[in-house]
Structure 1
Amino acid sequence: MKFARTSLAMALMATAAFSHAESLSLDNQVVTATRTGQSLGANLGAVTRLDQRAIQRLQPTDMLDLLRRTPALSIVNNGGAGKSSTFGIRGSSSDHVLVLIDGVRIGSVTSGSAALHNLPIEQIERIEIVRGPRSSLYGSEAIGGVIQVFTKRGTGGDPKPWMSLTAGSRNHHGGSAGVSGGIGQGWYSAAVTSLSTRGIDARPGRGDPDNDGYRELSGNLRAGYRFDNGLELEGHALESHSHSDFDSGYKANNDSKLKTHGLNARFSPLEPWRVTLQAARSEDQNDTFNGSTFNSRFDTRRDSLGWQNDIDLAPGHLLTLGFDHLTDEVSSSTNYSENRRTNKGYYAQYLGQRGVHEWQLSLRHDDNEQFGRYNTGSIAYGLSLTDNLQWVASYGTAFKAPTFNQLYYPGFGNPDIKEETSRNIETGLRGEHDWGNWAVNLFRNEVEDLISSVSLGGGIYLSENIDKAVIKGVEFEIASHWLGWDWSSNLTLQDPANRSSRPGQGDLLARRAEQMFNLDIDRRFGRIGVGAGLHAEGRRWDNAANSNELHGYNTVDLRAEYWFSHAWRLQARISNLFDTDYETAASYQQPGRAGYLTVRYQPL
């Protein structure tokens, strides 16, 4: 189905009037953009924050269903719930987006992608999305942006239990339960989630003519204690085990595990000096089978150590100094000529504010035993033109180290491949008014030595660098309460193009839409809440040669909820109301119309 002209017209008109309230609220705090706690309004970057209230109101079925509603974020899914998926911010690829869970870096070091589709949505407290490069703070991978997921954290006091039960189309059954609280100066939170669905036939007419189901079981635990001397210790662990059927051979299926474990310590040696120490491990494990016959195993592990110092120089002036140590390791049934590498990173940041002026300066030096040393930096400036209008501008550099597949996978890897580098410049205006909030951002990201798969003929591909890719675009966000309704909308128009000197110059980068639009409206009538959402994307090309077009599409969702009390409520949702037939990857269909009913106990 083509991207309807009426939908694009609606997008332009609505974006001129409304947008994402959660992403623009000045009262919220975010950490990801600066690695320190700052109010959302004080950040000079393009940041979206989705808290627990917003997540539950939107009633997403999984993490990807939620993220595709945010500005400039595109999803590519291979056939429904739990299937292999990729995502990008501002036309970047999946391995250009750094993903963190409670500060722990995740993602497969072979494929370079994080398994966001396996994360339990019910165990999330909030999500922070930073658009634009952040390598000057985080090192490799943060070319397009950073996504950080924060799991639920206890706040002390009496135990507070919560639960939810969901049933829906295609034998969708889900259940979650948890409890949080505290004892004395300690706090804790524990949760478990189960999900299963019959799924859909991801590739009709190809592979196995059956539905490709998905099952998931996950758990999360966080606990901490603050001592009388101010020392604060916290440990956290999350594990998600999943099983997914997919169309690639006879009864193909895989078993996956996503794990994160971390320990943090925070203390203040002196009043203006705060120290944070972190030791963490993340694991991405994937075993594939044809029926009951073992096919392949890819287990990757990331061990990290961090030391961060935040020093208040004066009111409105903060200096941050830090060190990161990261070890990536692969264990696989495939023989890699190298299976381990380490990276040391040193970073500094200065946040300042004086009168109507704000600035953010950051520098980082990375020393990687695989490709050597690399320096990145960024500068951002904000000027308050009036009490409710601010102009911002920034420039930043970033890089991404090649994955183990791009370097060493037999028959595909290229050990001579270079790291990808980028230069990003952006500017924008944003305002806060009695009627609502709005923001406009223009960006241009130039990526050199972009890593791509180059065909050698006969079905053989080799990992190689492309000279240059340029991604430029504009984002609109507006939010308002109008005619008794809460309206939120965002529109992204972008041009992600290959600008190399090789054949293909001017072609669009594969699987990147040129237009993306979201509109959500909600209203509360006493105990009843109702809402609707529209998601639309323009056409994209499935391949680098731009010969296989995937048509644009739009989907509409309806949602409602009834509050029995301040804690108990019944929620209902219809997704893809008009049963739109579309693909985000060639030959992989997406779910049609579906309905879901949820009973929730959640004291908010």
Structure 2
Amino acid sequence: MSKTLLTATAALLCGLSASLSSHAAERVFALDEQVVTAARVEQTPQHNLAATTVIDRAQIERSQAQSVPELLRRVPGISLANNGGPGKSTSLFMRGTNSNHVLVLIDGIKAGSVTSGGSALQDLPVELIERIEVVRGPRSSLYGSEAIGGVIQIFTRKGDGQGAKPFASAGYGTHDSYEGSAGVSGGDGQGHYSLGVSGQDTDGINVKPRGVSGYEDDSDGYRNLSGSLNGGYRFANGLELDGHVLQAKAHNDYDSVNSKRTAGFGANADGVTKVIGSRARFAPLEPWQVTLQAGRSEDKSDAYQDGAFYSRFDSRRDVLSWQNDLSLAEGQLLTLGADFQRDEVNSSTRYAEDSRDNHGAFVQYLGQFGRQDWQLSLRHDDDEQFGNHDTGNLGWGYLLTDELRFTANYGTAYKAPSFNQLYYPDFGNPDLQPEKSKSLEVGLSGEHRWGHWAANAYRTEIDNLIATVTSKVNGKTVSMAEGVDEARIRGVELVLGSELFGWAWNASYSLIDAENRSQRSKNGIAYYGKDLNRRPDQTFNLDLDRAFGDFSVGGSLSAQDASYDDLENQSELAGFATLDLRGEYRLNPEWRLQTRVANLFDADYQTAAGYNQPGQAVYFTVRYQAL
């Protein structure tokens, strides 16, 4: 995919807005929904100052996406690196930051592995998700470590309090792929509940090309069985209690044969992702709301090779939160809170340290003054291993006209090294220090009768950036976690959506310059000026959908520029573009038939060096949702 083509596409995206108003259907985009992730309290989009993308249940079903990464790849500023198709390890990069610089929340509980520092997004069940909020930009001042690039919060399905409503789906596709889900949600106005199960099974593809290290001549399958339970009740005195649990159990086959081809055959792993949480909300006084939340997230993996047990990684994170929201006046909200977090590791691999605690306290002020919105947040964290860290965010928004808004944000963030980065044998470095960042962003957005658009420009500087550095030691290739010293990231995001000749469409373009600014060198290679690996300079996404009575059709185009797979910029990943087509027939208001062709033109590409990606595939789904 040439840079010229992507740049031309961006120019077209900018220019289209000038001509749309005379052709587009006259409609006003709904602004009455609430978002919570950017400020830890409910906000309407017109008062939210962060660059935020919301993916709701209707969008999930319309896209026919089969995984969370498949949904997220369409979000501006996000790129993905996948190790061989469905269910395989997937790294997400937001705004050019590292893959573990994104905090993942599930129903308000921090999720992910404390060993790798990442989250198994590929294992989370799409059919049991109600909505996803993606906040781009630092949020350590509210959530603590990890939120350098942004925050992704996933909300599981929840009853609407209007009686029992069962749902179900079943599908089949290429590579002998099966999918199914069933559940029921509902309530009575004061109470709500949702119970669901979801399963997936596919033969998959061979994750590695012939001749690549680790190659084994087989298909690497994947299966997943997940369940979720969500419920709550509001008492007459205003007390609200709710709880939730989500568990995903996955089996994954992969290639891991050693260089001498004497061991590592039949490699596979059984993984479990589990998040459980509870929350109580009440108002001791009319302007004062208290929220108490507790939860646990678990990430477990047992690996096998040559028909025998190979390794076990079991990480656990316990969290407690106390939040106080004080309404000072109309449009003026003060939030005070405290968090506790404990991370633990239990593994067949010995770690020098296997647990650590963190205590955090934060304060936030949200203010509305006529056409202005303000957000100020400060946080202090006391990490058992790394001491004290102070972070902050300052945001300002100004409504230039009834349709045009300007925003500016400045924020600092930090990320404590993961247990693997510190202690994993022959990889970890116990001398690593927390990564620290500062970011500045300005944005301009418009909401019109013909559609919406937004443009955001940002700059992020990261000190003590931790990266995997590969070198030769006694003729052997060795990878270690090392501090890169400094990185600078600059970027622009453009978003445009409307209706044109009956087609609803949304487009986004991202331009990222993620540069290593380290003064160090290794193996005769200077890092300064090199690109940070697996961050394409340009990405473009376009979604089109149109209904013809009971029929609807749509398509998704995704394209990205070339990038480097390694920090030394020696291994290049070619740019590529994929096109997916989809169709749906509504038998009646409750039953639908869906079909999708993924990678229509059978593009051959890689997002991680040495790992194949699926070619053309066809899927069929029948879906039921009671009204």
TM-score (normalizing by structure 1): 0.97
How far apart are the structure 2 equivalents of 1:409 and 1:91?
25
Q: 1:117 aligns with which of 95, 113, 122?
A: 122
Q: Does residue 57 of the first structure (1) align with residue 62 of the second (2)? A: yes
Q: Is the 8 A contact 1:4 1:553 kept in 2?
A: no
Letter in 1 for 2:79: S
Q: Does residue 75 of the first structure (1) align with residue 80 of the second (2)? A: yes
Q: Is the 8 A contact 2:411 2:440 kept in 1?
A: yes
Q: Does residue 460 of the first structure (1) align with residue 478 of the second (2)? A: yes
Instruction: Write the deviation string for residues 109-153 of structure 1: whole angstroms up to 9, x where unpaired.
Output: 111000000000000000000000000000000000000000001
Identify the residue that residue 330 of structure 1 maps to in structure 2. 345
Identify the residue that residue 141 of structure 2 maps to in structure 1. 136
How far apart are the structure 2 equivalents of 1:133 and 1:259?
26
Q: Is the partner of 1:137 in helix, strand or coil?
A: helix
Q: Does residue 437 of the first structure (1) align with residue 452 of the second (2)? A: yes
Measure how far apart 1:460 and its partner are.
2.6
Measure how far apart 1:198 and its partner are.
0.6
Q: Is the partner of 1:386 in helix, strand or coil?
A: coil
Q: Is the 8 A contact 1:17 1:479 kept in 2?
A: no
How far apart are the structure 1 equivalents of 2:403 and 2:7?
29
Identify the residue that residue 87 of structure 1 maps to in structure 2. 92
Q: Is the partner of 1:584 in helix, strand or coil?
A: coil
Q: Does residue 13 of the first structure (1) align with residue 12 of the second (2)? A: yes
Identify the residue that residue 159 of structure 2 maps to in structure 1. 154
How far apart are the structure 2 equivalents of 1:292 and 1:105?
34
Identify the residue that residue 532 of structure 1 maps to in structure 2. 555
Letter in 2 for 1:225: Y
Q: How does 1:130-529 map to 2 (within 5 A)?
A: 130-183=135-188, 185-205=190-210, 206=212, 207-249=215-257, 250-458=265-473, 459-502=477-520, 503-529=526-552
Q: Is the 8 A contact 1:253 1:291 kept in 2?
A: no
How far apart are the structure 2 equivalents of 1:99 and 1:455?
28
Identify the residue that residue 523 of structure 2 maps to in structure 1. none
Measure how far apart 1:8 and its partner are.
4.9
Measure how far apart 1:60 and its partner are.
0.5
How far apart are the structure 1 equivalents of 2:95 and 2:313?
29
Q: Is the partner of 1:589 in helix, strand or coil?
A: coil
Letter in 1 for 2:195: A
Letter in 2 for 1:411: D
**Closer, same or farther in 2 for the Cα pair 1:273/1:498, shift >3 Å?**
same
Q: 1:570 aligns with which of 593, 601, 616?
A: 593
Q: Which moved more, 1:288-297 or 1:24-33?
A: 24-33
Instruction: Write the deviation string for residues 184-227 of structure 1: whole angstroms up to 9, x where unpaired.
Output: 73221000001000100111214211110000000000111111
Measure how far apart 1:463 and its partner are.
2.2
Letter in 2 for 1:472: R
Q: Is the partner of 1:189 in helix, strand or coil?
A: strand
Q: How does 1:100-115 map to 2 (within 5 A)?
A: 100-115=105-120
Q: Is the 8 A contact 1:15 1:489 kept in 2?
A: no
Letter in 1 for 2:202: T
How far apart are the structure 1 equivalents of 2:184 and 2:437?
44
How far apart are the structure 2 equivalents of 1:103 and 1:17?
38
Q: Which moved more, 1:594-603 or 1:326-335?
A: 594-603
Q: Is the 8 A contact 2:455 2:494 kept in 1?
A: yes
**Closer, same or farther in 2 for the Cα pair 1:184/1:477, shift >3 Å?**
closer
Instruction: Write the deviation string for residues 491-543 of structure 1: whole angstroms up to 9, x where unpaired.
Output: 00010000111221000001111001000111111111111110000000011
Q: Is the 8 A contact 1:26 1:40 kept in 2?
A: yes
Instruction: Write the deviation string for residues 72-126 of structure 1: whole angstroms up to 9, x where unpaired.
Output: 1111000000001100110111110000000010111111000000000000000
Q: Is the partner of 1:30 in helix, strand or coil?
A: coil
Letter in 2 for 1:532: G
Letter in 1 for 2:244: H
Instruction: Write the deviation string for residues 552-604 of structure 1: whole angstroms up to 9, x where unpaired.
Output: 00000101101111111111110100000000001101000001111001246
Q: Which moved more, 1:410-419 or 1:323-332?
A: 410-419
Q: Is the 8 A contact 1:7 1:554 kept in 2?
A: no
How far apart are the structure 1 equivalents of 2:550 and 2:581?
17
Q: Is the 8 A contact 1:159 1:179 kept in 2?
A: yes
How far apart are the structure 1 equivalents of 2:162 and 2:70?
33
How far apart are the structure 2 equivalents of 1:72 and 1:428?
14
Q: Note the aligned Cα RMSD (angstroms).
A: 1.5
How far apart are the structure 1 equivalents of 2:569 and 2:323?
45
Q: Is the partner of 1:71 in helix, strand or coil?
A: coil
Q: Is the 8 A contact 2:557 2:578 kept in 1?
A: yes
How far apart are the structure 1 equivalents of 2:41 and 2:245?
22
Q: Is the partner of 2:96 in helix, strand or coil?
A: coil
Letter in 1 for 2:351: Y
Q: Which moved more, 1:35-44 or 1:340-349?
A: 35-44
Letter in 1 for 2:76: P
Q: How does 1:22-33 map to 2 (within 5 A)?
A: 26-33=31-38
**Closer, same or farther in 2 for the Cα pair 1:536/1:184, shift >3 Å?**
closer
Measure how far apart 1:292 and its partner are.
2.2
Letter in 2 for 1:523: R
How far apart are the structure 1 equivalents of 2:542 and 2:192?
38
Structure 2: gaps (5+ residues): 258-264, 521-525
Q: Is the partner of 1:56 in helix, strand or coil?
A: helix
Letter in 2 for 1:516: T
Q: Name the count of aligned residue pairs.
A: 600
Letter in 2 for 1:221: L
Q: Is the 8 A contact 2:381 2:390 kept in 1?
A: yes
**Closer, same or farther in 2 for the Cα pair 1:594/1:555, shift >3 Å?**
same
Structure 1: gaps (5+ residues): none
TM-score (normalizing by structure 2): 0.94
State the percentage of identical aligned residues: 54
Q: Is the partner of 2:309 in helix, strand or coil?
A: strand
Identify the residue that residue 261 of structure 2 maps to in structure 1. none
Instruction: Write the deviation string for residues 147-190 of structure 1: whole angstroms up to 9, x where unpaired.
Output: 00000011223210000011111111000001011257322100
How far apart are the structure 1 equivalents of 2:60 and 2:480?
41
Letter in 2 for 1:594: A
Q: How does 1:575-586 map to 2 (within 5 A)?
A: 575-586=598-609
